[in-house]
Structures are given as structure tokens and as C-alpha cells.
Amino acid sequence: MPSYGEPDRAQAVRRGPAVPPAPQAPYVRGRPPAAAEWPAGSRPRSVGVDESMRAFRRALGPALRGRARDGAGRATKKRGKPRKPRISPLWAKLCVIVGAVVMVASGAIAVGPKLLLSYATKDIPRVDALPEPPPSIDGPINILLIGVDARPEDGAANGARADTIIIAHIPAAHDRVYMVSLPRDLEVEIPPFPPTGYIGQKAQKINAAFFFGAREVGGNASVWDRAFDLSPEGRGRGGALTAMTIDRLVPGGLKFNAMMIINFDGFLSILEALGGVHMCVDEPVYSIHYYPDGTKPARGDLNGDRYGQGKYYPKGCYDMQAWEALDFARQRYGLEGSDYARQRHQQQLIKAIVEKMMSRGVLTDPGKLLQLQRAAGDLLTYDLGTVSLDTWLFTLGHLRPSDMVLIKTNGGKLYNEGVVEAGNQSLTAESKQLLAALSNDTVGDFVAAHPDWVTKD
């Protein structure tokens, strides 16, 4: 675990292997299984990924079609009313962690040998970046989700800022996932970051923490003279400085168990693999990123006096194509609350992806699962702290989309009292209470006292 040169940082904790080794039998809810519990004929004959995937599908195919197997691996006859299948493919469970914690599988049994876990994550870069992650996930869990709109063509102006910052909080009971968004223009103190030569600032937008962390390391150059580094390691540093900034912002401090850095272009690949999603537009808006026919203008062409000529999203609930869903969730101009409205729509998009991913048409389609696995390599860079991936899955595999609670910071309203720089945002007293609740695991109490802060579906 990196210390980033800060003297008060704890000594590094030795991490387990990034990819769990050795295949094993499917998990059985409540305990790890013995090797003898493999369904007959399902143990892979070799360690090859393709062969183990075929074995996995042979073993689970009938279950995914609503059928069961007996101890000898034979399909059994249905008795009484058919039951909805409760086994989900590995990728659906993996998405609980790497796709917003709650792209979670709906099945009650976490299945799949560790070799398949390795296969599902083989294209997803894992980094060792979080400062001081907690040693276990037995208690409350906090996961930092960062959405990056990388613009290398803009040079030092906008090359790599975090457009989306979400804290996913799972209470000690592991029965909810609270999603709390931080305004991108929130004025904060960003601490020094020696690896990139950043000296720190007392009043800077929170999205700039990623901007100053995702730079090349080495030498004595100023952070402004360093090129952007959007490799997995560079993104990890940007995420680390963002985590350090939030730790200072939250009353009582906040350590993250895991971190996911999401590339918006990769998000589009996920949505394309899903065939789009169903979204509810709560207020109409025009796009500044696309024309009505789906073509992209030059940057800035749909701003100013040309606003209103882009793709239009009317109020109502309807299916959106992949590009439409992502485009809608990225709009803030023309919306009441600006960035707060965008936060709400981004949370809604995450939930829509979860629900679509868990639909039977996705869970039972090996082709779609393979597309999702490939798209994840472009979507994510992740750090799971000191905890192995299979432990995460075993701990959180029971969560459902209905367990997600979307919370609006500042009640979804603009607030700038006490800011140093014009255009920046600040936190209300109640929002500071919300952040403190993340630290002491009392978010449920806060939500009960502030029901109007919860985004309605």
C-alpha cells in the first residue's frame, strides 16, 4: 500500500494476490464447499480457461433454464410450481464490486471456480493505490467510484478530471448500498502529493484531485510541467489523491475499502453490450454532446446560442440506446440544479444498468456475458484493498438492485456559501452530517430523518 510521502501514513499492509489462484468447487451459501461437492462431470479437465468455461456452462446450463441437478449430475424433474432460477453467472456477481458495487448478481448462491473468477477479471487492470485501506470487509464498507472523462486533446486544461465522484456505502449489516454523490465543483482542500510534485491547495475543486494525481512521476518537475499519465498506475494515483482529499473532507475521516475508476468511453461499451437500458427522464433536456441523429459535433458547437439544437430528451420513461443513455446522464446545462441534476441521473443510470444486467435475457446469454467481460477492460481500473476478489463476492453476493438507495448531496440544490472562488460549491450543514454518517455508519438514520434527499425511481 503506497504512503505517497505523507509522514502520518501507516506502514503498508501486505496484499493478497491480485488474482485468486487454483480452481475450486462452486460456493454454497453460508460456507465454502468441499472439493467433493463438484457436480458430476463439471470439474475442468485442465486449467485452460476455455475448457473451464465450457465445464461451467455444462454444470449451470440447466439451472439457468430453471432446472436442477441431482448428485449424479442428472437433470431432475420439476416438482410443483416452477421456481425462478436463483443462480447467476459469475460476471453478474463480479459487477457488484467493479461496476458500482451493486451490479450484483441476483442469485442466492455464489458460483464459479476461482479460475473463472480469474477469467472474468483478466482484462481489468488492478492497481495498488489506496492509502490505508481497512484490513477486512466484515463491518461497514466504503467504495470510491470515480468517473473520468479523459480529454488528452485538451492538454493541461482538462486532460483528466473526475466528472463523477460517488461514495458507495454498505452498512455493517450488508443489507443496503447507499450511493452518495459529491459535486464536481465542491471546493475542498487537496493535500500535497509528492509523487507528482503537487504541493497542495487550500481551495480547489474536488475534481482537480484526480487531475493533479494522474501525472507522470519521478524527477523534480512541477506538477504543471508533467504529462498526464492515464495508464492504470496513473489513474490509480489520481484516485489515491481523490481518496486522500475525501478523507480530509469527511468529519472523522473516511478510509475506502475499494476504489473503482470508470472511463466514460468504457461505460458506452457496457451499455452497447446490454443493448441499451430503460431510463426515466424527470425533466426534459437538450444534449450538448450529440445532434438528434446521434452524430457528434465539434466540442462547444452546441453551447451558447446554439443550445437547443442537440438531441432532445423529453420527460417520461422509455428505452434508450446505449449512446442516448450515457449522453442523457452526462447533461447538466439547462437542468434545474445543474450538476446536482446530473448526479441524480448518473445514479439512475447505474441502477438501470444493474437492473438490465440482472434480467434473464442477460444472465442466460453467454454471448452477452462475454461482451460484458471484454468491455470491462476498457471500463474499469480497480483496487480492492487488502481483500481478495472472491471474499468480496462471498460477502456481497446477496445484494439486489432494490437494495440501492440514491442520496442527493445538499438535497439536490446549489449551495455556495463561504466559497473562496466564484462558481465553486460548498456543503450545507446537513450534507456534512451525511458525510459524518458515512464515517460512523449511521447513514440509515440520516435517510430516515431526510426522506426528501432520496432520489425516487
Segment among 186-195, 314-323, 329-338 with least mean pLDDT: 329-338
CATH classification of the domain holding 313: 3.40.630.190
pLDDT bin (cut points 50, 70, 90) of residue 123 is low
User: What is the share, in percent, of the chain residues with pLDDT greater than 90?
Assistant: 32
DSSP letters along 26-90, please? PPBTTBPPPGGGSPTT-S-SSS-HHHHHHHHHHHHHHHHTT--B-TTSPBPPP-SSPPPP-B--H
410/85: higher pLDDT: 410
pLDDT of residue 443: 97
Residue 125 has pLDDT above 70, yes or no: yes
State which H helix or E strand residue 406 sits in. strand 404-407
pLDDT-derived band at 314, boundaries 50, 70, 90: very high
3-state secondary structure of 399: coil
pLDDT at 48: 38
The 8-class DSSP code of residue 228 comes to B
Q: Is the pLDDT of residue 4 over 50?
A: yes
Q: What is the average per-residue pLDDT within 69-77?
A: 41
Q: Which residues pair with 178 in a beta bridge?
A: 169, 405
The number of domains in the chain is: 1
pLDDT given at position 80: 46
Give the chain's mean pLDDT: 74
Alpha carbon distances (Å) from 424 to 11, 127, 187: 36, 31, 6
Which residues, other chains included, contact 279 with Cβ-Cβ below 8 Å and sequence gap of 6+? Answer: 317, 318, 319, 320, 325, 328, 348, 349, 352
Rounded (10°) CA dihedral 114, 261, 378, 49: 0
Is the pLDDT at 244 greater than 90? The verdict is yes
Task: Identify the pLDDT of residue 44.
Answer: 37
Largest CA distance in the chain: 73
pLDDT of residue 379: 64
Q: 127 lies in a domain?
A: yes
Identify the pLDDT of residue 32: 39
User: What angle separates helix 264-274 from helix 366-379, to the nearest 10 degrees?
Assistant: 170
Q: Give a yes or no: residue 393 inside a domain.
A: yes
Q: Is the residue at 369 inside a domain?
A: yes
- 240 three-state secondary structure: helix
Instruction: Kindly provide the residue ranges of all beta strands, DSSP E only, lying in 54-190, ordered along the sequence.
Output: 141-150, 160-170, 177-182, 187-190
205 in a domain, yes or no?
Answer: yes
Residue 11 inside a domain? The answer is: no
Give the DSSP H or E segment for 405: strand 404-407
Residue 201 counted as domain residue:
yes
Mean pLDDT of 214-221: 89
Q: Quick one: pLDDT at residue 300?
A: 77
Q: How many angstroms separate the CA atoms of 86 and 327, rounded?
A: 33
Residue 1 maps to a domain = no
- C-alpha to C-alpha distance for 187 and 158, rounded to whole angstroms: 17
Among the listed residues 164, 232, 212, the one whose alpha carbon sits nearest the alpha carbon of residue 382: 232
Q: Greater confidence, 204 or 158?
A: 204
- The fraction of the chain above a pLDDT of 70, given in percent, is 65
Q: Are 264 and 222 in contact (CB under 8 A)?
A: no
| Res 30: pLDDT | 39
- H-helix segments, 193-231: 208-213
Q: Which residues make beta-bridge pairs with 319? A: 278
- The domain of 444 spans 84-453
- The reply to whether 29 falls in a domain is no
Q: Quote the pLDDT of residue 139.
A: 94
